[in-house]
Amino acid sequence: MTAREARERIEKLKKEIGHHRYLYHVLDRQEISDAALDSLKNELVKLERQFPELITHDSPSQRVGGAPLAMFTKVPHAVPMLSLEDAFSEEEMAEWEARMRKVHPRGDFEYFTELKIDGFAISLEYENGVLRRASTRGDGMVGEDVTENIKTIEAIPLSLSDFIFTAKNGKNRLTIEKNGKIMKILKERIITGNIEIRGEVYMTKKVFEGINREREMKGEPLYANPRNTAAGSIRQLDPKVAASRKLDFLAYTLVTDCGQTTHHEEHEIVRALGFKTDVFARECGELKDVFAFYEDIAKRRESLPYQIDGVVVSVNNNETFRRLGVVGKAPRGAVAFKFPAEEATTVVKDIVVQVGRTGALTPVAHVRPVPIGGTIVSHASLHNEDEIKRLDVRIGDTVIVKRAGDVIPKVVGVIKNLRTGKEKIFSLPKKCPVCGEAIVRPEGEVIARCVNKQCPAKNKEALYHFVAKPAFNIVGLGPKILDALSDVGLVSDPADIFSLEQGDLLPLERFAERSAEKLTVAIEKAKTITLAKFLYALGIIHVCEETARDLAEYFTTKGSVTSPADLLRIASEETPESLQEIPQIGEKVAQSIHAYFSDGYAKRLLQKLTEADIILHSPKPKKRAVPLVGMSFVLTGELTHLTRDEAKVLIREGGGTVQGSVSKKTGFVVAGAHPGSKYDTAKKLGVAILNEQEFLKLAGKQKHG
Ligand SMILES: [Zn+2]
């Protein structure tokens, strides 16, 4: 191959490699395989080795070229690299706008909003379209030359020559084209290829996690976050380290005057020049549009491939922006509208093991309540036994809790320097905390489970029943939410419901702040309940609402019942025989009630409910006349003035009891029209029979008509 042929081939290879780099790293598309692209790169390197005089600055082979540096040289910034003021609320944003309007009353206050990527600001200088220098912000006035490291970032073009600069119609009209397509028409200015562009170097979450996984395997300390890791990589003297870090780049500022009049146009021009720009960035007419953008991005935050910590809001009109000037080291015309902090430190009060509806055991840290991202967090997940060991979390430790988007807050670190020596090491119980059966953790699995099929934690129906209308009546706590709470380890038994806080609910799907608040209010309100409803809520087999009422009345005669613990104490003294003294309660029901209160699970549950401050109300003995006290009734046939249920209420309020069938012990049978077989039985047994009028008279409710 002659030198001329080599030069032509090299030029073509560079263009082709550059094209695929652009597709892959900027547009996120791929036309040829990695292997094919590597093969092209190999050919280029071989040719350049053969003809070293043909190596240029912008050759893809030069991305990881230079030897390690002894130090970075200083670079003065012709235009200072400013930082941004922060705002944390809509009020602060409104104040910002008011300040700007005061300084520049005739300004054009439309905005341009874009994501604030958590990375590292870099300035890129191109000469005749070729990357010559890349520098860090430094103190804003003087940065450091990190060109060799920046060249390793594939998202940054080494040459802008792929993007043709064509002057048309003389020097007053210039287009930026790519592949024959006009990307941007600029008037009155000429792009010479001497251009300065600024943007953010960052590391994707995926790359960051991959690096940490590798470090973990090698037993090396883990990196804290993608931002610091990216910054550290750029400030490495050996470019090979930076190259291994797979950094990325988003451009957001065009420093050189290319005729742009708005910040939006700057984005368009740098995109046309072959840079990746923020795809979410857009114009916002007024602050309320900015707020909508902020809300939208806040929701997407977790699912984005990179970390962001807010949105940048700039005055779109460059002339207005310029006239607003600089305050300290920040331009007045732009602000970083930050998201609330996601992490806070707090103290682990206890580690409690929850059993989910699949039997999976989840250790949950009960922490001193702490505001994170605008809500109070009091529980944080520890995932499993291995995670506790990995973090070395102990009861009493000061920990870092992170709350991010749609997952339950979790413990992400321990501040071991704050230990006093009194911290307690936690170990997973050997027995299920709900049913007391043995726990199984199969070899090679991280999740320990209760395998008892009868374990109450697996009985999700019991939870649904507990909060239902005739029971605790907690509006807004449906089966879907209960299932989700069980899955994340927040609710194993009904008592857990009462320790939920807004911060626990917010991460659950579709839990807007308002409904979470509503629900916590409903839960708080439900803590006071009648004894009858409470007994029904427990879901004791064969105890229907009516039986629960009878039981409540009976227990109240034995002593004052104001807490679940009172109930447990009184109920524990009963025997199946003594319970059968309650009218309407037969042998089967009595045995079921007795079995319930003898069970270890019920004892633990009632204790937990007492600790959750459940207050029981028993109907006080009525002061008004109780004309039917001591009398029992059986209803049959159709009544004209009362429904069957109204008649039952009348009997109960009058102090009497309602029976389902007629026996010798029955006091009265109330017979309406078309009475059934009960009427005949009553006659046969000699039980007194009342018609409706007589019954009403007896109950003190004589009706005429
Ligand atoms: Zn169990």
Q: Tell me, what's the pLDDT at 419? A: 87
Q: Tell me, what's the pLDDT at 190? A: 47
Contact 450, 457 (CB under 8 A): yes
Which H or E run includes 169?
none
- Distance separating alpha carbons of residues 289 and 594, to the nearest angstrom: 63
**pLDDT-based confidence at residue 621 (cuts at 50, 70, 90):** low
Region of 669 (left: φ > 0; alpha: ψ -120 to 50; beta: rest) is: beta
282: which 2 tokens?
């857009």
CATH homologous superfamily of domain 85-338?
A: DNA ligase/mRNA capping enzyme (3.30.470.30)
Q: Tell me, what's the pLDDT at 188? A: 44
Task: Match 């999976």 to its residue by tokens.
Answer: 360
- At residue 410, what are phi and psi to the nearest 5 degrees? -135, 155
Q: 601 C-alpha to center of ligand 1: Å?
A: 10
- Distance separating alpha carbons of residues 175 and 700, to the nearest angstrom: 99
> Which of 116, 246, 276, 678 is an active site residue?
116
pLDDT at 544 over 70: yes
Active-site annotation holds for 683:
no
CATH class of 3-62: mainly alpha
Q: Where in the chain is the domain with CATH 1.10.287.610?
A: 3-62
Among 184, 163, 190, residue whose Cα is nearest residue 264:
184
Q: Which residues are annotated as a binding site for Zn(2+)?
A: 432, 435, 450, 455
Average pLDDT over every residue of 77-100: 91
- Distance separating alpha carbons of residues 126 and 124, to the nearest angstrom: 7
Q: Where in the chain is the domain with CATH 3.40.50.10190?
A: 632-698
- According to DSSP, the residues that pair with 363 across neighbouring strands are 353
pLDDT at 651 over 80: yes
- Distance separating alpha carbons of residues 617 and 533, to the nearest angstrom: 10
Per-residue pLDDT reduced to its tens digit, 269-297: 888 888 999 999 999 999 999 999 999 99
**pLDDT-based confidence at residue 302 (cuts at 50, 70, 90):** confident
Q: 448 C-alpha to center of ligand 1: Å?
A: 11
Q: Tell me, what's the pLDDT at 417? A: 86
If you average pLDDT over each of 13-27, 443-457, 588-602, which comes out highest? Answer: 588-602
Lowest-pLDDT choice from 61-65, 183-187, 193-197, 427-431? 183-187
Average pLDDT over every residue of 57-72: 74
pLDDT at 225 over 80: no
pLDDT at 370 over 60: yes
Contact 282, 294 (CB under 8 A): no
CATH class of 341-458+465-504: mainly beta
Q: 491 C-alpha to center of ligand 1: Å?
A: 13
Task: Match 């870090």 to its residue by tokens.
Answer: 245
At 174, the amino acid letter reads L
- According to DSSP, the residues that pair with 636 across neighbouring strands are 671
CA distances to 70, 386, 467, 505, 631 from 489, in Å: 53, 16, 18, 12, 50
Q: Tell me, what's the pLDDT at 402? A: 87
Write the CATH number of the domain with boundaries 529-617. 1.10.150.20
Contact 124, 198 (CB under 8 A): yes
Q: 436 C-alpha to center of ligand 1: Å?
A: 6
Average pLDDT over every residue of 98-122: 94
Q: Where in the chain is the domain with CATH 2.40.50.140?
A: 341-458+465-504
pLDDT at 168 over 70: no
Average pLDDT over every residue of 161-175: 52
Q: Which residues are annotated as a binding site for NAD(+)?
A: 83-84, 114, 137, 200, 338
Q: Tell me, what's the pLDDT at 18? A: 85
End-to-end CA separation in angstroms for the chain? 120
Q: Tell me, what's the pLDDT at 622? A: 47
**pLDDT-based confidence at residue 169 (cuts at 50, 70, 90):** very low
Q: Which residues are annotated as a binding site?
A: 83-84, 114, 137, 200, 338, 432, 435, 450, 455
Q: 433 C-alpha to center of ligand 1: Å?
A: 7
Calculate the average pLDDT of the chain: 86
Q: 463 C-alpha to center of ligand 1: Å?
A: 15
Q: 508 C-alpha to center of ligand 1: Å?
A: 25
**pLDDT-based confidence at residue 236 (cuts at 50, 70, 90):** confident
Lowest-pLDDT choice from 229-243, 566-580, 613-627? 613-627
- Distance separating alpha carbons of residues 504 and 516, to the nearest angstrom: 9
Which H or E run includes 663?
none
Q: Tell me, what's the pLDDT at 171? A: 47
Instruction: Show contacts of 513-520: CB within 8 Å, 24+ apart.
Output: 513/375, 515/476, 516/375, 518/476, 519/474, 519/476, 519/477
Per-residue pLDDT reduced to its tens digit, 486-538: 887 788 889 999 988 877 887 776 666 667 888 889 999 999 999 999 999 99
Q: Higher model confidence: residue 387 or residue 168?
A: 387
- Distance separating alpha carbons of residues 368 and 586, to the nearest angstrom: 49
pLDDT at 149 over 50: yes
Average pLDDT over every residue of 535-564: 90
Q: Higher model confidence: residue 622 or residue 226?
A: 226
Q: 439 C-alpha to center of ligand 1: Å?
A: 8
Q: 487 C-alpha to center of ligand 1: Å?
A: 15
pLDDT at 647 over 50: yes
pLDDT at 258 over 90: no
Architecture of 632-698 per CATH? 3-Layer(aba) Sandwich (3.40)
- Residue 259 sits at the vertex; the CA angle it makes with 254 and 261, to the nearest 5 degrees, is 80
Q: Tell me, what's the pLDDT at 196? A: 94
Q: Where in the chain is the domain with CATH 1.10.150.20?
A: 529-617
